[in-house]
Amino acid sequence: DAGRCGLPEVNLGVLPGTGGTQRLLRLVGKSKAIELMCSGRLFSFEEALDWDIINEIYDGDAKSFREQLIDYCKQFTLPNKATKVVGNIKRAVQSGAEMGFEYGLTLERELQKALFDSQDAKEGLNAFNSKRTPSFKGV
C-alpha cells in the first residue's frame, strides 16, 4: 500500500490543531504549509519524504512495520544511547529554534553542563578513550 498522509482538518471546518499548523510551517515554510492545510489535500509518503516532513518510509505488512519501528527506536534507548543526552538534544533543537541564537547557545551550555556531571558522560568518554562501545545506564 502506497499510503497517504496530510492535514485534512479544513474539510471538517477546523484547523490542524495540537501544533499541526506550527509544526508543518516550520518543516515546509509558509507557502507550502498554507497550501497543504487550506486545500486539505492528502499527499504521498514520497512527497512527505521529499518535503522533509518524514525521515523514512518503511515497507511491508503491519508485523514487519512494527519490527522495523522497534529496531529503529532501539538505537535511541539504553544501553545504545544515553537517554538524557537524546532528550537534551531534542530540547536544545526544539526550544533553540524558537529563541534567538545567543539564547539558544545559553540553553545548550546549561544542558551540556548538566550532562558532563552524569555517569553516562563518564561512561561515554571512558569508552571512547578505551576504544570500546559504551553501555549507558541513564544516569
68-96 pLDDT, tens digit each = 999 999 999 999 999 999 999 999 999 99
Instruction: Provide CATH 3.90.226.20 ranges for the chain.
Output: 4-57
Class of domain 4-57: alpha beta
Cα separations (Å) of 81 from 17, 45, 89? 32, 28, 12
Helices (H) and strands (E) in the chain, counts: 7, 2
Measured in whole angstroms, the distance separating CA 74 from the mean position of its chain's CA atoms is 14
What does the mean pLDDT of the chain come to? 93
* Structure confidence by residue, pLDDT tens digits, 102-135: 999 999 999 999 999 999 999 999 999 999 999 9
pTM for the full predicted model? 0.72
Assigned CATH for 60-131: 1.10.12
Cell of 10: 479544513
Q: State the pLDDT confidence band at 1, using cuts at 50, 70 and 90.
A: low
Instruction: Provide CATH 1.10.12 ranges for the chain.
Output: 60-131
